[in-house]
Each structure stands twice: as C-alpha cells, then as structure tokens.
C-alpha cells in the first residue's frame, strides 16, 4: 500500500519558526534526529511515517555536508560484489530499484556508462571488466529491476562508442563496454525531498539548529540564528551527523576520506551522452568517471585520500587532486583537458568507519551503534542505501528506547514529487523541471504568477521561479541555500554571480 503525507510538505522560514516554538513548548518528543544529510532526513522520514513524534535538526542547511558532494550515482553494488560482500551488494541493488521505481523515479535517471577499449587495453583486463558488468547485471536481475529501467550490458563497436562518447581517443579504439546504473539529477534535491516528505508526515524540520551536547538527561540544542539554547528531552536520539558523528558519541571512530570532483563544460568532452569510465592507471579495480549532468556540465571524479585531524565542514580540492583527475581522464580523451577547462570543483568526505589499513580498504558498510546513554548513531554506507540505514537506525531506537511504533513503511513511500515514469512523461511542464521537481513541476511554473521574467533562466537553465519555489516550499533561508543546495548554480563562480540578484529577489519577495 502506498503511504501518502497527511500534512503540508512545504518548508519555509515561517514553518521553521513554528517547529522551533512547538519544540520549546513541548520538549518531550519521541525521536530527535541530528543531522540533515541523506541519512538523517531518511531517518526522520522513517520515524515520522511510523507515527512517532519526530524532529530533525541540522546545524546549517539540508544537505550541507557530504550528501551534496557525492558522484550522484545510485549504485547497484558491483564494487561490493568484487570484494565478496554479497549481502551489501544485494542491498545496494535492491535500494537502487526502490529509488528508481517507487521512492524517487523523478530524481533518478538511467545512466549509460562506457569503458572504452583501446588496442593497448590488455585482453585479460577487458575480459575481467566485461565479466564485472555481467555480474552487475546478475545483481540487477536478483533485485528485480526490469530491463526497461536498466537495460542489460552490451559490447559496442568503435562507431557506437564514439556516438555515446564523442570526445573519446580514436587512435586504436576497438569498442566499448556499455552498462547502466542510476544517476541522481541532484543529490541535494534527494535530501530536500526526504525532509519535505518527513514534514508531510508530521516531522519538525529545523535548520540552523545544532546539537551542542547529548547526555542521559537530554539534548541541548542551539538556534544558530539567535544563539538561544533550547533543552529538549527526546525519548530517542538518532545521531546522523556523518563525519562529525564522533562529536556526539566519542565511541564512534571514523577515518574520513576525501573524494574530489572537477566541473567542466560538457562541450569540452564533445557533449557525451554516457559516463566515460576510465580504469585508473590501466588497472581494473578503480575508475575515474566523467559524468554528464543535466545542466551542460560534466563532473570528473573521483579521488580517495585519507583526511587526518578534525574534518572541515566544507572541504576544498587540493591541487594534487586536480592533477590526478586530469591525468587519468586525459588517458581516454582525444583532446586533453587542461587547467583552463576546469570551471569549478568540489570535495566531500566519506564517513568511513575506522579500520586498519589504507583508505581504499576501509569499510564502506554502515554501522548502527548505541552509546552508554542510549544515543543511536548511524554512520557510513552510501547515499544509495540511506533508506535501509534509516530503517535499521529507527528499528534500533524503537527497540532500545521501547517506543510505541509500527514497522518501517518507507519501502512503499514515494517522496514528494514522485510518480511512475508514464505519469511523469504526461506532465505539462518542461522536461528539465520534471526531472528536478517531478509532479510539482507545474506548481513551480505556476509560482511565477503573472511575472514572465521569472520563467527566464538566470544561470545554468535555473529560473527565478525555481528560486521562488525554493524559498516558499523547500526551506531555503538565504542566498547560499538557494544557489548551493536547492540549485547547484554556485558550483561555477561566474554562474553564482549571474544568479545572485535573482536569489536575493526571491528571498525579498517571500519576506
């Protein structure tokens, strides 16, 4: 049975104030979720949809942390299979299927991915990689994903390879290995959709609100807008603060690893229609990707470097990472990318669980732990598996804190904007908007009212109507929320400047 929200899913400054005031008035709630990334927003939705009184607090903004810096792939779990981790590989494929068919079909598209094969590619390597794509397809079928959603892999001729990857090096090109995976139009939009859907099920969603301390007596929150301290007494606390999880539970030990991406113009790679997949240094186990995006850009990623010391809140991309990524992707390109082609860059920190050995060997699995005074920490994993992690975390909280709640309902719970592909195809709105807002795309257009200027792009195809929607319904409180997270305009500095005044106007219009 499909579970639908019963309350408004709109987030905005007025709702934030009301949620905060309600929490101050009634500090005894069932579940407080700390951290508004994909894991925390998923946990808030899980708890609220079970009927638990739930509040999600986030120090900055929804998707402020790692969740907006991912590669935006909805993985089938092939890399886990390669390491013999069958359970997690299957879980990943199953969660991918749910995201693409039930929870967020509007936000996830089918992405063709091509590994070009050149004369100097060792035959054994090509065979191994082809076997890998075959195993990925076994996983797809095991998870019940239809081939209409993710077609099976196939071999490409050189001409077919060039058609999908016009920028590929032609010298010695023998063909390509084509496979398919899921790709989010925007990871931050998934987080916002989760938080809004949670709000629709009654959760309070309070951004600019940090957890200062968690003890057996309760949690001390701080309203970051006013500096006011707000003590609360939740029956259960879910710590979903990603790489900062150890600040609330010192027993949780993480060793974050930095993953960097470069932003380049799609035209610099000949406007690829597939992800170019390049084996690092000609090996077979690690890859650099050139991932085409919906806004005329390509993201080239990614690195995997251990980060020592206190993890920064906004990581930056070091020069070494730029050099590494350019060198690797250039091995497969006809016209080399240079520093001048890099329009922007971003880095995220993987919340990896502490283990012995190198970063590449650390566990990508998630953990759900319970502290001495009962705080449930959920950390690690992947964006793709957020729902399963949230389910386990809330199950643990219900069990440990003896909460009165039913079973998890999120498997059948479409996020705000979701619909099946046929319904999405019939919507009377531009495809670009449907891919970002799903069934809400007509409402985004209607929000422009009588002002046609709001339908004109301000940067990267983003319109003033989208910015207005971000303020009125998606909880954006300032220019950065709008340009860095409700849209991704700010990934390129010049785009941010082009859109700044429209963002300010959208905020003034709401105020």
Ligand X SMILES: Cc1cc2nc3c(=O)[nH]c(=O)nc-3n(C[C@H](O)[C@H](O)[C@H](O)COP(=O)(O)OP(=O)(O)OC[C@H]3O[C@@H](n4cnc5c(N)ncnc54)[C@H](O)[C@@H]3O)c2cc1C
For residues 114 and 196, the answer to whether their CB atoms sit within 8 Å is: no
User: What is the nearest approach in angstroms of ligand X to the Cβ of residue 452?
Assistant: 36
User: What is the nearest approach in angstroms of ligand X to the Cβ of residue 80?
Assistant: 11
| 3-state class (DSSP) for residue 364 | coil
Burial label, 25 (beta-carbon count in 10 A; 0-12, 13-18, 19+): exposed
What does DSSP assign to residue 356? S
Q: Rounded to a whole number, what is the distance in angstroms from the first to the last CA of the chain?
A: 40
d(CA 333, CA 246): 42
Q: Of the listed pieces 16-24, 66-74, 335-343, 409-417, which binds ligand X according to CB under 6 A? A: 66-74
User: What is the nearest approach in angstroms of ligand X to the Cβ of residue 33?
Assistant: 9
Q: Of the listed pieces 62-70, 116-124, 264-272, 487-495, which binds ligand X according to CB under 6 A? A: 62-70
Identify the CA nearest to 271 among candidates 250, 247, 235, 298.
298
Binding to ligand X, residues 173-212 (CB under 6 A):
210-211
What does DSSP assign to residue 144? T
- Candidates 16, 72, 118, 189; binder of ligand X (CB under 6 A) is 72
Pick the closer one to ligand X by CB: 60 or 80.
60
User: What is the nearest approach in angstroms of ligand X to the Cβ of residue 436?
Assistant: 18
| Residue 45 is a binding residue for ligand X (CB under 6 A) | no
**What are residue 258's DSSP bridge partners?**
305, 349
Q: Where are the alpha helices (DSSP H) in 227-318?
A: 245-248
User: What is the nearest approach in angstroms of ligand X to the Cβ of residue 210?
Assistant: 4
**What are residue 97's DSSP bridge partners?**
none
Long-range contacts of 323-326 (CB under 8 A, 24+ apart): 325/260, 325/261, 325/262, 325/288, 325/300, 325/301, 326/262, 326/300
User: What is the nearest approach in angstroms of ligand X to the Cβ of residue 455?
Assistant: 32
Pick the closer one to ligand X by CB: 285 or 335.
285
Contacts of 252 (CB under 8 A, 6+ apart): 239, 245, 246, 367, 369, 377, 379
Distance, CA of 300 to chain centre? 16
Separation in Å, CA 303 to CA 75, 414, 437: 17, 33, 31
Binding to ligand X, residues 125-184 (CB under 6 A):
none
User: What is the nearest approach in angstroms of ligand X to the Cβ of residue 1?
Assistant: 27
User: What is the nearest approach in angstroms of ligand X to the Cβ of residue 450?
Assistant: 37
Pick the closer one to ligand X by CB: 36 or 136.
36
User: What is the nearest approach in angstroms of ligand X to the Cβ of residue 59?
Assistant: 4
Binding to ligand X, residues 355-394 (CB under 6 A):
381-384
Pick the closer one to ligand X by CB: 13 or 38.
38
d(CA 40, CA 54): 11
Separation in Å, CA 39 to CA 35, 58, 175, 216, 264: 8, 12, 39, 23, 29
User: What is the nearest approach in angstroms of ligand X to the Cβ of residue 419?
Assistant: 23
Q: Which helix (H) or strand (E) holds 473?
A: helix 464-473
Q: Of the listed pieces 60-68, 140-148, 159-167, 482-490, which binds ligand X according to CB under 6 A? A: 60-68
Pick the closer one to ligand X by CB: 39 or 161.
39
**What are residue 474's DSSP bridge partners?**
11
- Candidates 13, 50, 69, 129; binder of ligand X (CB under 6 A) is 69
Count of residues that interact with ligand X, criterion CB under 6 A? 37
DSSP string, 314-355: S----HHHHHHHHHHHHTTBSS---GGGEEEEEEEEE-PBP-
Other C-beta atoms closer than 10 Å to the C-beta of 40 total: 31
| 3-state class (DSSP) for residue 357 | coil
Q: Of the listed pieces 69-77, 103-111, 471-479, 488-496, which binds ligand X according to CB under 6 A? A: 69-77
- Candidates 30, 49, 50, 59; binder of ligand X (CB under 6 A) is 59
- Candidates 246, 259, 292, 464; binder of ligand X (CB under 6 A) is 259
| The token pair that represents 27 in the structure block | 């500090």
Distance, CA of 359 to chain centre? 21
User: What is the nearest approach in angstroms of ligand X to the Cβ of residue 484?
Assistant: 12
User: What is the nearest approach in angstroms of ligand X to the Cβ of residue 376?
Assistant: 13
Binding to ligand X, residues 209-228 (CB under 6 A):
210-211
Binding mask 74-93 for ligand X (x = CB under 6 A): -x------------------
d(CA 333, CA 169): 4
| Residue 244 is a binding residue for ligand X (CB under 6 A) | yes
Binding to ligand X, residues 280-309 (CB under 6 A):
302
Q: Of the listed pieces 67-75, 228-236, 486-494, 499-507, which binds ligand X according to CB under 6 A? A: 67-75
Contacts of 141 (CB under 8 A, 6+ apart): none
Pick the closer one to ligand X by CB: 299 or 458.
299
Pick the closer one to ligand X by CB: 37 or 116.
37
| Residue 350 is a binding residue for ligand X (CB under 6 A) | yes
| Residue 241 is a binding residue for ligand X (CB under 6 A) | yes
| Residue 35 is a binding residue for ligand X (CB under 6 A) | yes
Pick the closer one to ligand X by CB: 235 or 382.
382
Q: Which residues bind ligand X (CB under 6 A)?
A: 34-40, 57-60, 64-67, 69-73, 75, 210-211, 240-242, 244, 259, 302, 348-351, 381-384
């Amino acid at each position: 049975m499909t579970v639908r929200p019963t309350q408004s899913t709109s987030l905005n400054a007025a709702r934030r104030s009301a949620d905060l005031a309600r929490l101050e008035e009634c500090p005894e709630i069932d579940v407080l979720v700390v951290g508004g990334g994909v894991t925390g927003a998923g946990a808030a939705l899980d708890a609220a949809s079970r009927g638990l009184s739930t509040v999600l607090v986030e120090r900055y903004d929804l998707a402020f942390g790692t969740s907006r810096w991912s590669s935006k792939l909805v993985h089938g779990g092939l890399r886990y299979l390669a390491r013999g981790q069958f359970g997690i590989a299957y879980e990943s494929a199953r969660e991918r299927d749910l995201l693409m068919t039930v929870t967020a079909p509007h936000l996830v598209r089918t992405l063709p991915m091509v590994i070009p094969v050149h004369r100097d590619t060792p035959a054994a390597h090509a065979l191994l990689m082809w076997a890998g794509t075959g195993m990925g397809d076994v996983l797809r079928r095991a998870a019940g994903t239809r081939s209409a959603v993710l077609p099976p892999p196939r071999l490409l001729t050189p001409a077919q390879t060039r058609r999908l990857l016009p920028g590929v090096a032609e010298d010695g090109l023998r063909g390509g290995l084509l496979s398919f995976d899921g790709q989010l139009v925007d990871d931050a939009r998934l987080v916002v959709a989760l938080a809004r859907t949670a709000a629709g099920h009654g959760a309070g969603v309070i951004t600019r609100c940090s957890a200062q301390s968690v003890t057996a007596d309760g949690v001390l929150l701080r309203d970051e807008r006013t500096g006011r301290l707000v003590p609360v007494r939740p029956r259960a606390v879910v710590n979903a603060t990603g790489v900062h999880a150890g600040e609330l539970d010192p027993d949780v030990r993480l060793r974050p690893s930095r993953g960097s991406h470069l932003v380049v113009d799609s035209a610099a790679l000949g406007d690829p229609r597939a992800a170019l997949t390049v084996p690092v240094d000609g090996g077979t186990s690690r890859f650099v990707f050139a991932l085409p995006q919906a806004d005329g850009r390509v993201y080239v990623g990614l690195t995997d470097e251990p980060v020592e010391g206190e993890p920064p809140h906004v990581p930056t991309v070091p020069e070494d990472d730029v050099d590494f990524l350019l060198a690797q992707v250039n091995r497969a390109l006809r016209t080399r990318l240079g520093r001048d082609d890099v329009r922007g860059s971003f880095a995220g920190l993987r919340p990896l669980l502490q283990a012995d050995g190198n970063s590449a060997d650390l566990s990508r699995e998630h953990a759900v732990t319970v502290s001495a005074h009962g705080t449930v920490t959920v950390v690690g994993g992947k964006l793709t598996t957020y729902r399963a992690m949230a389910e386990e975390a809330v199950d643990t909280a219900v069990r440990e804190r003896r909460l009165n709640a039913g079973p998890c309902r999120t498997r059948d719970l479409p996020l705000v904007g979701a619909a099946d592909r046929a319904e999405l195809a019939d919507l009377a709105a531009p495809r670009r908007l449907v891919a970002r807002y799903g069934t809400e795309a007509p409402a985004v257009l209607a929000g422009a009212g009588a002002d046609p200027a709001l339908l004109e792009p301000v940067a990267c195809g983003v319109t003033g109507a989208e910015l207005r929607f971000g303020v009125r319904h998606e909880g954006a409180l300032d220019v950065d929320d709008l340009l860095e997270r409700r849209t991704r305009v700010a990934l390129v500095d010049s785009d941010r400047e082009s859109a700044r005044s429209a963002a300010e106007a959208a905020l003034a219009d709401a105020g």
